[in-house]
Amino acid sequence: MSLRLPIAAITDEFAVDLDKTLDSMQSLGMTGAELRMVFGKNVMLLSDGEVKEFTKACKDRGLTVIGLSTPILKCVLPGGPPLDERFHQDIFGSKNTIEDQPRLLDRAVEVAHLSGAKILRVFSYWRTVRPAETYPQVVDALGKMAERAQREDLIIGLENEHACNVATGEEAAAMLGMINHPNLKLVWDPANAVCAGGKGYPEGYSALPKDRIVHVHAKDCTMVGDGFTPEWGPLGTKDTNWKAQIDDLIRDGYRGYISIETHWPGPGGDKYQASMIVGGNLRDLVSA
C-alpha cells in the first residue's frame, strides 16, 4: 500500500505499555512518533535516560521522533480577560503557571536534542472570553520562542487548540500574520477548530497560509448539545471531512506528517481499539 503522506501518532493515545504501542503503530504503517506522555509521565518530567529509552524503542521499529507535544503556554495569562469556562482544559499530567514557562522551554529544547525531534508544539494561553485582547502577549511569547528555536535548529509549532486563544483557522491565520518568522509554524488541527465553534474545513483551512503548516493532527467529532460539547468518533465519520482535507493538503504542497490524536474513547471504552481503528482509517485516507 502506497501512502501519499507519512503518518504518525501521539504515542500515549494507544496504550500505557510502550512496546505494545510502538508495535501497533508500526503495524499500521506509521513511521513517526510524537512524545507527550510515556512511562506515566508528561514529556516535561522525563529524565534524560527515559527520553533516550523512548527514542531507542522508536528507532528499533523504524519510527522517527518527529515532535514533542509540550504543554508550553497551556496556562493562564495573568491580567488577561476572564477565562471562557465553556472549554475543557486538558493538561496531560502537567499543570503549570506563567512562571514555569521559561523552564518548560529550556527542558523542551533539551529533550528535542536528545530525541532528535524537530517540532516543539506550543499553545496560546487558556482561552478567554475576548481572545484577541491577548494577542499582543501571545505574539511576544511566540516571537521570543521562535528566536530561540532558530538558534537551536528547531521549529515552534503553534497548535490551534479549542481551549486556547488561537483556536480556529481564522485565528491561526491572524496570529501567523503577526509573526513572520521562519521558525514559527502551525500545527493544524481542523477538529479543534470545530470544537471552538468554527469550521475547520474548508473555511478554516482556506484562511491559512499553506506554507506555514508544519504538522497536522487528525481526530474527528460532531458538536452536540450546547454546541460546545464534542462527540468524538472514528476518523472520517464525523464533521471534519478528512478525505477532502487530506486531498487539499496534498494539492497545496503539504508533505509533512499527519498524526492521530484519537480522543474517541472507542468501542466499549477501549481506547486501544479506538486508536487502532482511527489509525487504520487514517492509513486508508492517505493511501494512493
Distance CA 191, CA 81 (A): 25
Nearest of 131, 65, 75 to residue 103 by alpha carbon: 75
Q: What is the mean pLDDT of the chain?
A: 96
Average pLDDT value for residue range 149-156: 98
CB of 138 within 8 A of CB of 165?
yes
| DSSP code, position 85 | T
pLDDT value of residue 56: 98
Percent of the residues in the chain that have a pLDDT greater than 90, as a whole number: 94
Average pLDDT value for residue range 73-89: 93
pLDDT value of residue 259: 98
Convert 206-228 to b/e letters by CB count within 10 Å (16 or more is b): ebbeeebbbbbbbbbbebeeeeb
pLDDT value of residue 94: 67
Distance CA 39, CA 47 (A): 11
What confidence category does residue 93 fall into, taking pLDDT thresholds of 50, 70 and 90?
A: low
Take residue 148 and report the three cell numbers written for it: 530561540
Indicate the pTM of the whole model: 0.97
pLDDT value of residue 89: 81
Give per-residue pLDDT as tens, 196-215.
999 999 999 999 999 999 99
- How many helices (H) does the chain have, and how many strands (E)? 9, 12
pLDDT value of residue 225: 86
Q: What are phi and psi of 28, to 5 degrees?
A: -85, 0
CB of 221 within 8 A of CB of 230?
yes
CB of 68 within 8 A of CB of 113?
no
What confidence category does residue 92 fall into, taking pLDDT thresholds of 50, 70 and 90?
A: low
What confidence category does residue 107 fall into, taking pLDDT thresholds of 50, 70 and 90?
A: very high
pLDDT value of residue 277: 98
pLDDT value of residue 37: 96
- Is the pLDDT assigned to residue 91 strictly greater than 90? no
H or E element that contains 34 = strand 32-35
* Structural domain spans, the chain: 7-286
Give per-residue pLDDT as tens, 10-32.
999 999 999 999 999 999 999 99
What confidence category does residue 95 fall into, taking pLDDT thresholds of 50, 70 and 90?
A: confident
Give per-residue pLDDT as tens, 210-245.
999 999 999 999 999 888 899 999 999 999 999 999
Q: Domain 7-286 sits in which CATH superfamily?
A: Divalent-metal-dependent TIM barrel enzymes (3.20.20.150)
